[in-house]
Chain A
Amino acid sequence: MEAAVSTADSVLGSVLEPILARHRRDPVRLLQILREVQETMGHISPAALTAIARALQLPRARVEGVAGFYSFLYLEPVGQYRVLFSDNATDRLLGNLELMATMCQKLWVEPGKVSEDGLVSIDTTSCTGMCDQGPALLVNGWPITRLTHQRVNEICELIRARKPLAQWPREYFAVADHLRRKDLLLNSVLEPGAALRAAIARGAEGWLAEVQKSNLRGRGGAGFTTGVKWEACRNAPGTDRVIVCNADEGEPGTFKDRVLLTSYADHVFEGMTLAAYAVGARQGFLYLRGEYRYLLEPLEGVLARRRADGLLGANVCQAGFDFDIEIHLGAGAYVCGEESALIESLEGKRGTPRIRPPFPVVKGYLGRPTVVNNVETLAKTVLVALEGGENFSAYGTAQSTGTKLLSISGDCAFPGIYEYPFGVSIAQVLEDCGATDAQAVQVGGASGICVAAYEFQRRIAYEDVPTAGAFMVFDSSRDLFEVARNFVHFFAHESCGFCTPCRVGTSLLKNFMDKLADGHGAKYDLADIEWINRLLKNASHCGLGTSAANPVIDTLVKFRPAYERRLQSLEFEPAFDLDKSLACARRMTGRDDPQAHLSSEFSSEESPR
């Protein structure tokens, strides 16, 4: 017995040691360590948690708390093949649930459980950012796109044959860019270092002034002016400044950052270096969402080349400043897209948003002044450096300068990436992407705005319809109640659980939407839904909670019949069917006569619908 224990210990030790050493036993790197331990061992066992805690001199409970926070970290054994079907509204349109049911049936496993032989586990996951080529799934963290019944059958065969992923057909894992409309950014060709040298020629202050002249605003959705953010960080007390690129592209329906990181990585890294030059930062992080794990090695390759070319590291471009970039991987937590939660996660903690103020530009990563910018924002600073701020601001509208990348998916002929000058009308975009029968567009993702057909003349701009880039089209055959319900489930799953209104409110909202979907809704429930929406909006700690109610608020106003036709009565209805609940008792007693049923006055089973 003791020998067995010590063997297990030494196996664990031999896995942990190189990982811990590579991360210098630094507790700040806890999340990266946990991820890597899992990549080797499949899951993180209680003994592994204890050993990691001991090595990092952290309380074990804290390590367990961090590991338990992230969806992609498993504290219990999972299948040798872990299949996660992306479950965004757009995957639903493409029939992801039917495909998942087929796979579960073929492999004899229930969703969310591990098969008895430990071979496979199948579940859903939040949007994986492959909406233009869905339905998609992740198998052991690697994306497979364009699922069909045939492909699912083939995957089942491969799993049954226990074929290693490396021997699966390469075309399964192909991820297309789908660049459909190119403008300023996507047409630009960057000779690595050219933008940097142009900025250096202006001097740090001159360069910052140029960014301010451009009036570039954050492309992550909030639209904060980039030049103002950079200046605040530059002027904040402290010496070690930090640049963070937010590549935690978790908003359902958004995938433009994935494409930029695939084909415009030099723009992104050069943008980070430009930011570092402006604010005087030495340290940079790219926070890459766990779903984009497959981009890690290619991106590391780009970083290595840029180091070799003198564009990163000591004395960048021989201009006398040092800057380097490190990639941190997330592990399945949408809330980490919120900048202060992202910083917590970078520090190896649970991704709980901080109290603000202080803002990250003053007190961010490890208390240092920190700029957090979106991938697209940073890529666009390259254009400002090359063309000048004034030229940049000539594009777009007065308050929304430049162009915007839209991630278009759903019911349209040509899903993919479209770059438009700000101010383009939704109708124009719909025409270009071949959406002929749209009844609504969800702009800005689950947290965004549901735009109905009568509003299609509205424009994409901070002045009108702001967006981080998601643009999901729903045609007239779609049920917008189900779309909203999908988003509500998403928010309940992704709530960090820190504050009362979001922790409880998102789950209550989910239960109410399910009650309506199950046919037990009453007018009373709509009043409760509106009340919870108000509490979420007013009392939540961060943007996740305040926007969690958006999909319901919008569809309740604009598509109220989709809700009302589900209502059973105008009075209160319980969330369960009393007569149906007695079905098991009837089966056990072998009775099904009228006396074994509750009168239809109290139940709806017999009543005609």
Chain B
Amino acid sequence: MSAEKKFLLDGKPVTFNDGQTILEAARGAGHYIPHLCWHPDFPAHGSCKLCIVKVGGRHVSSCAMPAKEGMEVESNTPEMNGERRALLQMLFVEGNHFCPSCEKSGNCQLQALAYDLEMLSAHFNHFYPDRPVDASHPDVLLDFNRCIFCELCVRASREMDGKNIFALTNRGIKKHLVVNAESGRLGDTDFAASDRAANICPVGVILHKRQGFAKPIGQRTYDEKPISVVAMECVKATEGAEEVKS
């Protein structure tokens, strides 16, 4: 057995196994790197870019970049957190996010990250897109206003549920989620509230009906502890998923 391989994360040594990405290795060693589209049960997606780090002066997505011996990685620095904050602001202004009236408030990873990274305003002008909700399904409501295009529902439905309920269409700022039915309505698909895809949204797009505000805002997961702490507790507890069930 060869000697342990290590890289430096913000000056601290992190051991890793071959094939592990920077994010995976950091997480295993108890270091949190912010992320939204990355999920332990899926291959790296690399779209949200919240997990960007600097390696040898270059920006890379830590969820997709394989760890290498001797790398010097900068993550929890004012520069990287400043850029992450701006990416969060971009996600907030491209959709319609009204946290005070959102059922996911307190359980939402976008909101939790914004608190954790001390995002105080949206900074940029809002786009105010017109995205009608879909309430056609008996058990699940789709509120597209909050979509951040992490594609976790797309991936979970395809790879775990074997149903392909969701896909993305159009492109650029007009990109949006579509449902696998000619009517475009979730009610006309075989989607079920027990699907993995129905329970994986990190924000408030996919909501279970008749469960609204069962637990008051203020007592929810990220109301109690910041996401950087919750995420690391999840690693210790289950080595697995960190989505919050409401």
Give residues in A with beta carbon < 8 Å to B: 46-47, 49-50, 59-62, 64-65, 67-69, 333, 335, 350, 355, 357, 492-501, 503-508, 511, 528, 531, 534-535, 538-541, 575
Contact = CB atoms under 8 A, between A and B. Distances in A.
Contacts of A60: 180-182
Contacts of A507: 94, 127, 172-173
A68 B59 CA distance: 31
A71 to B, nearest CB: 9
Given A492-B173, A499-B49, A508-B125, 5 more contacts: A61-B169, A357-B66, A494-B172, A501-B90, A503-B175
A26 B244 CA distance: 40
A504 B66 CA distance: 27
Interface in B166-225: 166-175, 178-182
Nearest to A528: B124
B90 A355 contact: no
B115 interface: no
Contacts of B148: 500
Given A49-B182, A61-B180, A355-B64, A497 B175 contact: yes
A575 B44 CA distance: 38
A373 B184 CA distance: 40
Interface in B34-56: 44, 46-50, 52
A500 B91 contact: yes
Contacts of B166: 61
Given A504-B91, A507-B127, A535-B86, A61 B167 contact: yes
A457 to B, nearest CB: 30
Main secondary structure of the interface of A (DSSP, over half): helix
A64 B168 CA distance: 8
Interface string B86-97: 110011011000
Contacts of A492: 172-173
A69 B171 contact: yes
Interface in B117-161: 124-125, 127, 148-149, 158
Contacts of B49: 499-501, 539-541
Contacts of B75: none
B23 interface: no
Nearest to B124: A508
Nearest to A501: B49
B47 A350 contact: no
Contact of A504 (B171, B173, B182): B173
B171 A67 contact: no
A25 to B, nearest CB: 18
Leading 10 A-B pairs by shortest Cβ distance: A68-B169, A59-B164, A497-B175, A61-B167, A504-B90, A61-B180, A65-B167, A507-B173, A495-B172, A65-B169
Query: Which of A49, A61, A65, A507 gathers most chain B CB within 10 Å?
Result: A61
A498 B45 CA distance: 10
B125 A575 contact: yes
Nearest to B168: A65
A61 B176 CA distance: 12
B83 interface: yes
A531 B86 contact: yes
21 contacts: A49-B182, A50-B182, A68-B171, A69-B171, A355-B44, A355-B46, A357-B66, A493-B172, A495-B171, A495-B172, A497-B174, A497-B175, A498-B47, A500-B47, A500-B50, A500-B87, A500-B91, A504-B93, A506-B173, A508-B90, A538-B52
